[in-house]
Structure formats: C-alpha cells, structure tokens
Chain A
C-alpha cells in the first residue's frame, strides 16, 4: 500500500541514496565533493580577484613585453595584419630619441627634490600634530584635504597662484598671489611659468606643488605610526632624564622607521610616475609657452607614444619599470639596515 503512494521523486531519491550509500560510492563522493573541494577551495575563493588581475594587470604586463619586442609595432598595423619582426629596435629608438634624456632628467630631478623635502616636512607636521591637543582633529582634516582633491584642479589653482599675464602696459594685467607676496616684501616679480621663464623657476613651481600634494598621505602614515608608539617609552625616557632631541633621534625615529621607509619607498615610486601634476600646472604642453615639453617626464613620453607607436611606448614603459625596480631595490636594501620592525 505504501509503495503505491510514494511519488516518483521519492522513489528516485531512494534509489539514488541507496546507490550512494554503498561504501565505495560514499568514499568516492566524499573524495570528490569534500577533499578535492577542500584542496581547491582556496583557489575558488580567489577566482574573482585572479580573473580581474589577469585581465587588467598580468595580461597587460605580458602584452607590453610582447609589443616592446616587436619592431615598429602599432595597433593600426596589427589590425591590418602586418607581421612584425622580433627585435630590440623599440628600445634603441627610445634611448636615441632626443627628448628622452630630458624626460629622464626632469623625472629624476623632481623625485630627488621632492621626496626628501616632503618626507621631512611630513615628519615635522606629524610630530607637531601629535603633540598638540586642541583642534588636532580639525587640523588633521585640513592637512588631509589635498589628498582628496583632484590633482588637475589643484594644478589649476597653483597655476593661478604663480601665473602672470603680461598685457601691453607697464604693469602685467594679472599677477598671481605669489608675486604679490614677493612684491609686498620688496622683491621684484619673478616669471615663474610664463613664456620666457627660467627652467629652475618651473622646477621650483613643480617642486612646491608636488611636495604639497604628497604631504597628506605621508602625514597620515607617520601620524598613525606616532600614535601607535607606546607612551611608556616616552615615560621611561622622561624618568631617565633624556634630552628632547635624543628622545626624537633615539626613540621616535627608530620606532617610526618602518613607516618612514614605507613613505620614502612609495614616494620614490610615485615620483618616477610624475605626470598629471605637470599637466595640471602647465597643461598638455608640459612646459611654459614657447618652450614646450621643457618639463616632460617619463610617463609623459609614454603617454604621447601610445597614440601612434605602441611598441615605443611599451619599451619606454619597461625602461621606466626597470629604473623603478632598481631604485626600489636600493631603497629596500638601505631600509633593511636602518629599519627596526
């Protein structure tokens, strides 16, 4: 009687479960479903991230290497089905290009100028922020503002500050606030960034801008580091009559060294990738009027090459990568000796 009333699915379930309840099958299922899954589940969880990284990071890297090694590669030719020869012509073309040395010089100069200055200032400001009690929250917010502001927008503001528009008259039509201040102190107007301006004046403008732009992130990291230092070290130092300078050099700096190393290394990496800040201040021409590309950088070079010669751009990108790699390795080597984790 009961047999009749059981539905088809129930019968199916019974037969299936009978089948799987046999020991061999059970063992097999456990193996497949459980152990195998256990072994590979890490990969399954990682899959979404891995797929995205493959598409947007790993594949482009290999593609860059491929393009850089194909003579005269451009996507237009590739679409037309042109066969490229294998060779290092792209690299030699980059190195022979007369603007490339200028790009390299500007990049290195700006990095070497801005990283020490911004790190030092950030440390100074972080220590000050850490020691004041009143308004520290408000000041922290203010110091963090540049970080959340668009660098092109900041660039335009900086351009306005340093700019000067010469009319036909005895005095310029428009004078930026920097020159107004200089005048107030009895100095003469300086042509910071307009036609005919000096290279060093341009570099000065960019240094100020990049340092200012780099400060908030560095302050944030260093302030976090300072706040995580156990206060008892300072109390112990106080009991031992440690002079303030010695507390700073022998306790604060060593305990902060991991953060300092991080800030310096990322600063160098960021410095070598400088581009948008110069476009922000000087515009697409990357230099004052009449002296285009005077402040061209590595990334600027790569960016323009992408337009018509991807092979050259890829080669330049790999050269930049090699430079950053070497500099970072030197950084890590030095910091390993000086850092106390």
Chain B
C-alpha cells in the first residue's frame, strides 16, 4: 500500500493563549512512501517525526493537508478504520493478558462479516507468532518476557490483523545495545517477509541507515531530505543533514573559497571548480582524509583510536567547528613515534561546502 502525504501540517495551539507561541510540529510535509518499503523517519527530539507517525495512524488529526493510502483519502478516517498496525514505543501490551490473548485481541474485535471463526483466529495468531519467533511464549504474561520478546509480541499484535500499513514508534529505543542490533535485523526480515509498507520513527541515524529502504530526515517539523540511506550520506543537501548522519560525525571547518580553490586556515586544500569566492562551512567525512606529506590540511595530533580494521586519528585544527577532527584511515598507516602533526590530502567527493548563512549545500564539479 502506497502512502502519500500531501502538505501535511500539524500545529499545536499554545497552552497559554496570552503568551502566544503555538508550536508547528510538522510543517508542509510532502512525501510518497512507495509500496512495500521500509521507511525511516529520522530526526532529533522534537522534530515532528512522531507527530507525523501519529497523524498517519489517525490518533492525531492534521491541522491541514491530506493523507492517502493508495488512492483512498484517509485524512478524515478514525484510526480503527484505517487498517493500520501500530507498535508503541513502550509496546503497550495489555499486562493482564497472556501473549496469546494479546495477539488475539485485535482479531476478536472484528465484527460483522469480518468476524473470524475461532480456529482461524488461533491459526493466524500462531502464524504471526511464528513469524516473529515467539510461538514458544504464547502462554506467558508480558511481565515474564524480556524487552526484545515484548517488542516482538507488540509487532505480532500489530501484524495479526494484516494491516495495510505498519507503523513503529521508536521501536528499538527501549532495548539494550546488543538486542537493538538483533531486533533491527529482525524488523527488516519481518518487513521483507510480509511486504507490508512499514514506517518507523527513530532518532538514531545508524538504526535508520542500516535497515531503511528510504530515509526521511526532519528538523523542526520540516523535511530536510529524503532518499536512500547511502544517497543521503553521500550527498547531503544541507549542513544539518550532513552533521546528523554518520558515525563518527562529519568534521566541520571554517573555510574560504578564492579563485575556485578552497582554503582552510589560509592553506589551500582542494580545488573546487565552479564556486564563487566566499566564506563557507566545509564538511569533511572522516573517511575523506588521506594522510599525505604533500597534503594541504595540517592538523595537530591529539590521539589515535585503534579500531582493528582501521585507525581513527583524533586531531585539532584552529578552524574546526566540531570538538575535534576525527579521520578514519587505513590500519596500515602508522604515525611515527612522537609525531605531533599530520598532513592530509582530501577526497573531493567526501568534502561538502555549505553556505554560511543558509547552511545550504554549495555544489562543485569534481
């Protein structure tokens, strides 16, 4: 089921009328979520990603704009008529029911011609339980399950009525680090097996990057960029997106373009054809540095993190705007004993220029 959001806007009225200051949680959201894809809504806290999800679910009404499931306008439909499955951040499993009763609950709600015979309900419950691998735990109460198992039960409960769209609100934030890795693979697998269009919300860029087909990056209610994870990482449209994606994060410098050459702290570091002369922000991905005696960027080394596969050199530069300059270089490269400085050449496609006032990307020919 394709999900289409048209000019979706949500404004929360201010609590204190005199003080004014209504909150625009989501501002003019336009996006089409392709059928059968896993889409991640990504952004920092308060960027409106959860509000967007709840508007798609119908639990919140948009101030303006429309939501389409396929060709059907569902903007005015109540949640129960939209045919969605929703997994809450803390799962909201009914504590007094067993896993089986929790999963059966949505099916038992079906009335009229949708009503299922008992055997079919059980069969469907067991089928979906098998899919999320909790069929062994059907007679337990939620309190007797681990966080990861509860998460699966919540997904099973959302899937059992075969929703048109599956919505997940911060599905992994209540799990510990190891379980998070496992579960996100699990979500990926379940989504692929069922082929249900799935939208999930997260503030963890790594999580979004690793499992989504498409990422929507949001900031203060405004969509910044949409696209495939790699594409956004390689080609951020503004400084916010560049900074938000990637671990370790992108390094940002004050720079200046003069005569189609980029200078950082007075040193020429890269030729940037087609950019007019002005001061810019320079973003360099950690993997964009090449240690090179002839390189233009001179940094003061403050430490080295060995990570096995590769080495991360932590250094300082007087024009840097991030707390430190972190480069990732091949493990073969070693600093000489007592070496205090390192020179870098730059990979042009890992260097992004941003306008100082708008923070928009300035493109240059490579």
Within the complex, the shortest CB–CB distance from A338 to chain B, in Å, comes to 10
Q: Let me know if B86 is at the binding interface, CB within 8 A.
A: yes
Within 8 A of B (CB), among A209-227: none
Q: A239-B57, A239-B85 are in contact. Are A340 and B96 (CB under 8 A)?
A: yes
Stretch of A129-137, A140-148, A241-249, A284-292 with 4 or more beta carbons under 8 angstroms from chain B: A241-249
A238 touches B79 (CB 8 A): yes
Residue of B nearest to A240 (CB): B106
* Residues in chain A near residue B81, CB distance under 8 A: 241
Whole-angstrom CA separation of A242 from B97 in the bound complex: 15
Whole-angstrom CA separation of A254 from B57 in the bound complex: 26
Q: A239-B80, A240-B106, A242-B109 are in contact. Are A251 and B59 (CB under 8 A)?
A: no
Whole-angstrom CA separation of A250 from B108 in the bound complex: 11
Within the complex, the shortest CB–CB distance from B59 to chain A, in Å, comes to 6
Residue of A nearest to B96 (CB): A340
Q: Let me know if A230 is at the binding interface, CB within 8 A.
A: yes
Whole-angstrom CA separation of A257 from B95 in the bound complex: 12
Residue of B nearest to A242 (CB): B109
B80 touches A238 (CB 8 A): yes
* Residues in chain A near residue B97, CB distance under 8 A: 254
B109 touches A241 (CB 8 A): yes
Q: Let me know if A85 is at the binding interface, CB within 8 A.
A: no
A235 touches B109 (CB 8 A): no
Within the complex, the shortest CB–CB distance from A76 to chain B, in Å, comes to 58
B88 touches A255 (CB 8 A): no
Within 8 A of A (CB), among B308-328: none
Within the complex, the shortest CB–CB distance from A233 to chain B, in Å, comes to 6
B96 touches A255 (CB 8 A): yes
* Residues in chain B near residue A6, CB distance under 8 A: none
A239 touches B109 (CB 8 A): no
* Residues in chain A near residue B84, CB distance under 8 A: 239
Residue of A nearest to B102 (CB): A236
Question: Which of the residues A246, A254, A340 comes within 8 Å of B109, measured between beta carbons?
Answer: A246
Q: Let me know if B94 is at the binding interface, CB within 8 A.
A: yes
Q: A238-B79, A239-B80 are in contact. Are A232 and B88 (CB under 8 A)?
A: yes
Q: Let me know if B224 is at the binding interface, CB within 8 A.
A: no
B 292-313 to A, binary, CB cutoff 8 A, 1 in contact else 0: 0000000000000000000000
Whole-angstrom CA separation of A236 from B88 in the bound complex: 8
* Residues in chain B near residue A251, CB distance under 8 A: 94
Whole-angstrom CA separation of A299 from B94 in the bound complex: 44
Whole-angstrom CA separation of A239 from B84 in the bound complex: 7
Whole-angstrom CA separation of A246 from B92 in the bound complex: 17
Q: A240-B105, A241-B109, A243-B109 are in contact. Are A340 and B95 (CB under 8 A)?
A: yes
Q: Let me know if B15 is at the binding interface, CB within 8 A.
A: no
Q: Let me know if B18 is at the binding interface, CB within 8 A.
A: no
Whole-angstrom CA separation of A238 from B109 in the bound complex: 10
Within the complex, the shortest CB–CB distance from B16 to chain A, in Å, comes to 17
Whole-angstrom CA separation of A340 from B94 in the bound complex: 11
Residue of B nearest to A251 (CB): B94
B80 touches A254 (CB 8 A): no
Q: Let me know if B111 is at the binding interface, CB within 8 A.
A: yes
B59 touches A233 (CB 8 A): no
* Residues in chain A near residue B58, CB distance under 8 A: 239
* Residues in chain B near residue A232, CB distance under 8 A: 88, 90, 92
B111 touches A235 (CB 8 A): no
Within 8 A of A (CB), among B65-91: 78-81, 84-86, 88, 90
B109 touches A255 (CB 8 A): no
Q: A241-B106, A242-B109, A243-B109 are in contact. Are A236 and B86 (CB under 8 A)?
A: yes
Question: Which of the residues B96, B111, B161 comes within 8 Å of A243, measured between beta carbons?
Answer: B111
B59 touches A235 (CB 8 A): yes
Residue of A nearest to B78 (CB): A238
Q: A255-B95, A255-B96, A340-B96 are in contact. Are A241 and B90 (CB under 8 A)?
A: no
* Residues in chain B near residue A239, CB distance under 8 A: 57-59, 79-80, 84-86
Within the complex, the shortest CB–CB distance from A168 to chain B, in Å, comes to 65
Whole-angstrom CA separation of A257 from B96 in the bound complex: 10
Residue of B94, B110, B157, B161 ringed by the most chain A CB atoms within 10 A: B94
Within the complex, the shortest CB–CB distance from A305 to chain B, in Å, comes to 47
Within the complex, the shortest CB–CB distance from B158 to chain A, in Å, comes to 8
Across chains A and B, which 8 residue pairs bring their CB atoms closest together, nearest first? Answer: A241-B80, A340-B96, A240-B106, A232-B92, A254-B96, A236-B92, A239-B86, A239-B79
Q: Which residues of B contact A (CB under 8 A)?
A: 57-59, 78-81, 84-86, 88, 90, 92, 94-97, 105-106, 108-111, 157, 161
Known: A238-B59, A239-B79. 4 other contacts (CB 8 A): A238-B78, A241-B110, A242-B105, A243-B109
Subset of 23 A-B contacts with CB under 8 Å: A230-B92, A232-B92, A233-B92, A236-B92, A236-B157, A238-B59, A238-B79, A238-B80, A239-B57, A239-B58, A239-B59, A239-B79, A239-B86, A240-B109, A240-B157, A241-B79, A241-B80, A241-B81, A241-B110, A242-B105, A246-B108, A251-B94, A257-B96
